[in-house]
Structure 1
Amino acid sequence: MAADYTRGEMNITSQKNTFDGFMSITLWSSLLLTVTLLYLTLVFAVGMDWMGSLIGVAIVGIVLGLVTSMKTSWYVTIGGLFVFGLLCGLLSQLFAVFLAG
């Protein structure tokens, strides 16, 4: 059994694909968490305007994608989060106007 082993002859494609997938998920998760925490910090802790911080965080997300060589799906995700944040911010301002009377 052990004598049949020859170093470097084992097929490791499935292990390599698993590791590459794990690293991809880790990178995506950490970058999304970074972008989210940056936005929340700018809006709530620093007191920056929500629109300015949303634009700034979108730019940071694009730069992070370029630095880490992310694929097109990253930029689509950042764009989707930007539109989602824009809609939520506009809806909250609309409700604030109605509540203020």
Structure 2
Amino acid sequence: MASEYHRGDMDISEQVATFNLFNGLTKWGSLSIAALMVLLVVWFCTPAGFLAGFISAAVLTVLGVLFLREKPDAAH
């Protein structure tokens, strides 16, 4: 049975899709948690209030989306 294995013959498209999904969920989930934490910390732990917390979280979200979005692949 072991001699029937040929390295590199298996279709790995499902593994690649799972890897990409996991990376995407990790990336966007981390950004959403960070924005929520900024909102809550500025709102409850400083005298700035809700509006400053919301603006801070919105700025973080916009910058995060700009930096974390998918870039086109470089031509090799």
- TM-score normalised to structure 2 length: 0.80
- TM-score normalised to structure 1 length: 0.63
Task: Provide Cα deviations, 1:45-86, integer angstroms capped at 9, x if missing partner.
Answer: 12212112211210111001111116xxxxxxxxxxxxxxxx
Structure number with the higher helix fraction is 1
TM-aligned CA deviation for residue 13 of structure 1: 0.3
TM-aligned CA deviation for residue 17 of structure 1: 0.7
Please name the residue that 1:22 is paired with. Answer: 22
Please name the residue that 1:4 is paired with. Answer: 4
Q: Distance in 2 between matches of 1:25 and 1:44?
A: 28
Percent identical residues: 29
Across the two proteins, how many residue pairs are aligned to each other? 70
Residue aligned with 2:37, SS: helix
Q: After TM superposition, where is structure 1 displaced by more than 3 Å over at least 4 residues in a row? A: none
